[in-house]
Amino acid sequence: MPIFEPIGLAYIELAFRISQHIDGYVDAYCGPNYLRDQVLDSAAWPTNQLVQAAEQLLEQIEASDLPIRRRTYLRKQVTGMATTCRQLAGERFDYREEVRRCFDIEPAMIDEAVFDEAIDELDSLLPGQGDVLERTQIWRRQFEINGEQAQPLLQLIETELRSRTLALYPLPASEKVDFRLVNNQPWSGYNWYYGNYHSAVDINTDLPIALNSLTNLVAHEAYPGHHTEHCIKERDLYAGRGWAEHSIFLLNTPECVMAEGIANSAVGILFSPKELVEWQAQTLYPKVGITGDPAQELRINTALKALAGVAGNAALLLHAEGRPADEIVDYLVRYGLTSEERAQQRLRFISSPLWRAYIFSYFYGEQLISRWFERGDKIERFGTLLSEQIYPSLLEQWVIEQANQCYKG
């Protein structure tokens, strides 16, 4: 078991102290049980004490002789933690400032012309005539399956993705993932990392499961997404280097942007877009009587991808501009081309106190990583993301530096 530095011990204690006030704040923990239990078995600290502890930890980090990248990483993580502590103590931040402090990114509205252009493209691509929203729903419904149909397909998908992942990124021999079907959740899938290289992945069945995105979901949550990242960082950074901050994963901190960006990019490491739609059409769809058209699906998927920023816009409209909930649902339906039922579920996610700012981690993380991949070997660079301590503004700096080098060249 690694011997933790005082800063690492204080980091873990503060995280669990916050979790006494916010259920679910500690998303994963693989460190010594006694460090967790000695906090959770004691009385919760008052919120002003939480703020004081966070500020003291920031001072310790700044005064330390840790390498600059690790020191900066910890400072940004603890800035996110301190922001949560200050909110618990009653302080209110402008929504954009909240996102900036928690996630080390600068949230901004995406020009709706981007969405309009994608919707026009879909209008020309989707089968049939008439309203593009209705035709999008018809297109999506052809891929819907229930939990009973999904169960055997999950095993098939997992086997394929795990095999492809292991060929690129060796994992601990004992690693494993259990898949479970659940309901009454605000998300479509969730990875619960238990430590010791073991995860459970929950698939939400509140709404029908979209078979054409199920491979993406398994890649996101398991191989080579969240589970893979957790395993490699537990092995290399926690067990290997004794870095306490990698024994624990916290919501509403910059590491979430990197984690969700990695997970959103995961399927593209294993398949090209063309390979993915062909593999699904040949391997998955016949199992449930769906007939695929890979060429058409690829074109439609590309257009739909341009709508990925709609949820972030909706969150800004809700929290930064104070727009009413029914207007947000209408916005999600109009620009996300989604059903009202799915829009309500998305509203539930971005309205949740725990998740209200988190929505930006997916889009911004994936966009940052995509830009970094443009001028490098994506397989190698994805491995760097899985195994190294990287924060969003550092990756942004790398992107700018590589663009400058290209310009000079």
Q: Comparing C-alpha atoms, which of 185, 230, 170, 222 is closest to residue 201?
A: 222
Is 246 a domain residue? yes
Is 213 a domain residue? yes
Q: Which two tokens stand for residue 97?
A: 């400032």
Q: What is the reported pLDDT for 1?
A: 64
Q: What is the reported pLDDT for 380?
A: 98
Same domain, 138 and 283: yes
Q: Label residues 119-148 b or e (16+ Cβ within 10 Å = b).
A: bebbeebbeeeeebbebbeebbeebebeee
Same domain, 194 and 290: yes
pLDDT above 70: residue 409? no
Same domain, 143 and 90: no
Whether residue 122 contacts residue 132, with contact meaning beta carbons closer than 8 Å, is answered with yes
Same domain, 85 and 134: no
Domain boundary (86, 103, 120) is at: 103
Convert 290-328 into a string of H (helix), E (strand) and C (coil). Answer: CCCCHHHHHHHHHHHHCCCCHHHHHHHHHHCCCCCHHHH
Alpha-carbon torsion, ordered 253, 179, 338, 305, to 10 deg: 70
pLDDT one-digit tens code per residue, 325-370: 999 999 999 999 999 998 999 999 999 888 899 999 999 999 999 9
Whether residue 77 contacts residue 243, with contact meaning beta carbons closer than 8 Å, is answered with no
Is 1 a domain residue? no
The gap between the terminal CA atoms of the chain, to the nearest Å, is: 48
**At residue 306, what are phi and psi to the nearest 5 degrees?**
-70, -10
Q: What is the reported pLDDT for 4?
A: 85
Cα distance between residue 13 and residue 56, in whole Å: 13
Cα distance between residue 213 and residue 215, in whole Å: 6
Domain boundary (103, 121, 148) is at: 103
Whether residue 26 contacts residue 15, with contact meaning beta carbons closer than 8 Å, is answered with yes
pLDDT above 90: residue 403? no
pLDDT one-digit tens code per residue, 155-171: 999 999 999 999 999 99
Q: What is the reported pLDDT for 354?
A: 85
pLDDT above 70: residue 109? yes
Residue 48 CA neighbour count, 13 Å, CB half: 0
Q: If you average pLDDT over residues 315-322, what whole number do you get? A: 97
How many structural domains are present in the chain? 2
Which structural domain range is residue 93 located in? 6-103
Alpha helices in 104-206 (DSSP H): 112-125, 132-141, 147-168
pLDDT one-digit tens code per residue, 35-49: 999 999 999 999 999
Cα distance between residue 376 and residue 401, in whole Å: 13
pLDDT one-digit tens code per residue, 44-75: 999 999 999 999 999 999 999 999 999 999 99
Is 26 a domain residue? yes
Same domain, 152 and 225: yes
Same domain, 52 and 161: no
pLDDT one-digit tens code per residue, 211-265: 999 999 999 999 999 999 999 999 999 999 999 999 999 999 999 999 999 999 9
Q: Which two tokens stand for residue 380?
A: 């190698």
Reported pTM: 0.95
Mean of the per-residue pLDDT values for the chain? Answer: 95
Is 51 a domain residue? yes
Least confident of 14-28, 76-90, 238-252, 352-366: 352-366
Q: Which two tokens stand for residue 232?
A: 């490699």
Same domain, 142 and 232: yes
Same domain, 275 and 375: yes
Is 117 a domain residue? no
Domain boundary (87, 103, 119) is at: 103
Is 204 a domain residue? yes
Q: What is the DSSP string of 229-256?
A: HHHHHIIIIIITT--GGGGEEESSSHHH
pLDDT above 90: residue 406? no
Same domain, 144 and 211: yes
Cα distance between residue 172 and residue 231, in whole Å: 7
Same domain, 158 and 231: yes
Contacts for 295 with CB less than 8 Å, ≥ 6 apart: none
User: What is the percent of the chain where pLDDT is above 70?
Assistant: 99
Is 380 a domain residue? yes
Same domain, 161 and 68: no
Q: What is the reported pLDDT for 397?
A: 96
Same domain, 92 and 202: no
